[in-house]
A and B are shown apart, each in its own frame.
Chain A
Amino acid sequence: MWRDAALVAGKDLRIEGRSRVGLSQVAPFGIVALVLFAFALGPDRQLMAKGAPGLFWVAVLFCTVLAVQRSVSVESSDGARDGLRLSGIDPAGLYLGKTAAVAAQLVVLELLLAVGVILLYGARIEVPWMIVVSCLLGTVGLAATGTLYGALSAGIRVRETLLPFLLLPIAAPVLLAGTRIWQAAMAGGTPATGMQWLRLLVVFDAVYVAIGVVLFGPIQETA
């Protein structure tokens, strides 16, 4: 299972490395979103610094939708999906591999967005490890749910419009938890309140990764 996962993740990241869709389209989109949020909140830097945690996570959520769409569309042409199923790769490994590839891209993106939030909104971070852990846990949760829904909607022609509608409400707890952890870890926050939210993220990740590992085979047959 792990070897299959590494193979699939390597394949997706190699495609990404050669096509540069994430770097040339998704990342700039994230920056555009940050700039638009700044326009929406006005030039008041204090207000922007206060809203920075939430805005960061909303931007990440939107980028997740794009990354998942890309991850699905990579398999949709030339009968790639059938090829994968025929290749004898363990469905659980396939799921973990696709999830890992999406998560890796999101982590790079989050790094970029975090720098943007600090520079553009003047957000001051007091407890850096909490920010890092929240990003890692949140990313796993988003990639895990995203890959599940991506596979489920793979065969649907109206996928582009349906996927965000299905995925974003499910991912709402990640947004809530991520925002609260960031607020706790920033200047003026109380770091202790972040702990229960970190636990919530762990539960969210565990639940959806487990569902994916167990159910990815049947889900693939559905699409």
Chain B
Amino acid sequence: MTDDSTTATATATAAGAADDPSTAIAGTIGSGLVAHPPTAVAPNTGVTVSPVQSPRSRMIERAIGALALVGTVATVWLGIWVTPPDKTQGDLVRLVYIHPGVAWVALYLAFGLAAVSSLLYLWPRTRSLFWDRLAAASVEVGVVFNVCTLVSGSIWGKPTWGVWWAWDARLTSTAVLLVLFLGYLALRRVPAEPEVRARRSAFVALFAAVDIPIIHFSVNWWNTLHQGATVLNANLSPQIHGSMAWTLLLGFVALTLVFVWMLLVRYRIGVLEDWLGANELDLALAERHSEGSGRLDGPVADRPGAA
């Protein structure tokens, strides 16, 4: 009996993994985060073990993580001990090594990636849960970076502008963006079939993405106080020099790596979550089953209710 159910589950799971078109796309993208067809079967449970990460993708993930760590440590070291304080802003300028980098990841990289992958999910030819999971991971990590942007900006704003929060255009649009994507995450938490959830979320991400330029213009007309872009300004002449410029650049690279690493980990968790969602009942049943059969041999006094 146990043997039969084991084979059945294993076949079903393997077939499911092979059907998933994300396998092919994930491979070409190079992230290598693929739910492998389960090969091992946990003893006595009748349920296949969870999808495992291939050694190659684990190595890539760890390498990016290590690079991100090194980059961040280097940025902190350069930012705090090596670079000089600013003429007008003093030590406050050191926030500039973090804040624009975090904002770049939050406002452009994460949400841009989420919008593009949502669009690719909705496009029938590229429809695959891979894009859905990528969008979800991207938004979730992006929300973390967005909060960091607002917090680091506030810390800088209090001594400089005298207030924790100003209703400036950029601050306001960043906050609206945060609320929009918190809505996206709230929608994702609504229990639904993976395909239904993916379509709903993709539509919401798309509507939000379309709204962003309109919000941008409207709050710009509404109020502007934030200082202009330092490096990528209109005449492309950076207003920052020497070790400060290099530290700023390193900060951008390090934070981008941190984002990529978090994205990979979150994507892998997403795969595992979906796997668990599909197999939760089987797992629980198997556990219950083995519990019953295992305890029968043991001492009767251990079992509750055996007086």
Which residues of B are found within 8 Å of A165, using beta-carbon distances?
182-183, 186
Check B211 against A152 for contact (C-beta < 8 Å): no
Looking at A172, A200, A207, the one whose CB has the most chain B CB atoms below 10 A away is A172
The residues of B that contact A6 with a CB separation of less than 8 Å are none
Q: Identify 25 residue pairs between A and B in the complex whose beta-carbon atoms are under 8 Å apart, listed by A's number.
A: A149-B207, A156-B192, A158-B190, A162-B183, A169-B179, A170-B207, A173-B211, A173-B215, A173-B218, A176-B218, A176-B219, A177-B218, A180-B221, A180-B222, A197-B218, A200-B217, A200-B218, A207-B210, A208-B207, A211-B207, A218-B122, A219-B203, A222-B196, A222-B203, A223-B200
> Shortest Cβ distance from A175 into chain B, in angstroms?
9
Interface residues of A in 196-223 (CB under 8 A from B): 196-197, 200, 203-204, 207-208, 211, 215, 218-219, 222-223
CB distance from A19 to the nearest CB of B (A): 28
Given contacts A162-B190, A180-B221, A200-B217, 18 further A-B contacts (CB under 8 A): A148-B207, A152-B204, A155-B196, A156-B190, A158-B190, A162-B187, A166-B187, A170-B207, A173-B211, A173-B218, A176-B219, A177-B218, A196-B221, A197-B221, A200-B214, A204-B214, A218-B199, A223-B200
Contacts of A219 in B (CB 8 A): 203
- Let me know if A170 and B196 touch, CB within 8 A: no
Instruction: Give the distance in Å from the alpha carbon of A161 to the alpha carbon of B187 in the complex.
Output: 11
Interface string of B183-218 (1 = CB under 8 A from A): 100110010100010011001100110110011011
**Complex formed: what's the CA distance from A170 to B196 in Å?**
22
Choose among B176, B192, B210 the residue that contacts A211 (Cβ–Cβ < 8 A). Answer: B210
What is the total number of residues of chain A having a CB less than 8 Å from a CB of chain B? Answer: 31
Partner of B214, one of A149, A166, A173, A215: A173
Question: Interface SS of chain A: helix, strand, loop or mixed?
Answer: helix
* Chain B residues proximal to chain A, CB less than 8 Å: 122, 176, 179-180, 182-183, 186-187, 190, 192, 196, 199-200, 203-204, 207-208, 210-211, 214-215, 217-219, 221-222
A152:B180 contact, CB within 8 angstroms = no
Q: Is the CB of A152 within 8 A of B203?
A: yes
Report Cα–Cα, A52/B215, bound state, in Å. Answer: 22
Residues of B within 8 A of A145 (CB): 207
Are A170's CB and B208's CB within 8 A?
yes
Within 8 A of B (CB), among A165-195: 165-166, 169-170, 172-173, 176-177, 180
Please give the distance in Å from B158's CB to the nearest CB on chain A.
26
Chain A, residue nearest B214 (CB): A173
Where the two chains meet, the residues of A that have a C-beta atom closer than 8 Å to any C-beta of B are 145, 148-149, 152, 155-158, 162, 165-166, 169-170, 172-173, 176-177, 180, 196-197, 200, 203-204, 207-208, 211, 215, 218-219, 222-223
Report the separation of the CA atoms of residues A189 and B280 in the bound assembly, to the nearest whole angstrom.
Answer: 62
Q: Which residue of A lies closest to B175 (CB)?
A: A169
Whole-angstrom CA separation of A218 from B199 in the bound complex:
9
A204–B203 alpha-carbon span in the complex (Å) = 17
| Beta-carbon nearest neighbor of B191 in chain A | A157
Alpha-carbon gap, A169 to B221, bound state (A)? 18
Contacts of A200 in B (CB 8 A): 214, 217-218, 221
Residues of A within 8 A of B199 (CB): 218, 222
| Shortest Cβ distance from residue B99 to the other chain A in the assembled complex, whole angstroms | 24
Please report the C-alpha to C-alpha distance between residue A170 and residue B208 in the assembled complex, in whole angstroms. 7
Assess the A166–B204 pair: CB atoms within 8 A: yes
Residues of A within 8 A of B219 (CB): 176
Docked-complex contact A166 and B218, CB < 8 angstroms = no
Chain B's nearest CB lies how many Å from the CB of A159? 9
Complex CA–CA separation, A64 to B192 (angstroms): 27
Cα(A218)–Cα(B200), bound, Å:
10
Determine the distance from Cα of A128 to Cα of B77 in the docked complex, in whole angstroms. Answer: 61
Task: Establish whether residues B222 and A176, one from each chain, have CB atoms under 8 Å apart when the complex forms.
Answer: yes
A200, B217: Cα distance in complex, Å: 9
Report the Cα distance A173→B212, complex, angstroms. Answer: 10
Minimal Cβ-Cβ distance residue in A for B179: A169
State A177–B220 Cα separation when bound (angstroms).
12
**Bound-complex Cα distance A203 to B213 (A):** 11
Q: How far is the CA of A23 from the CA of B190 in the complex (A)?
A: 32
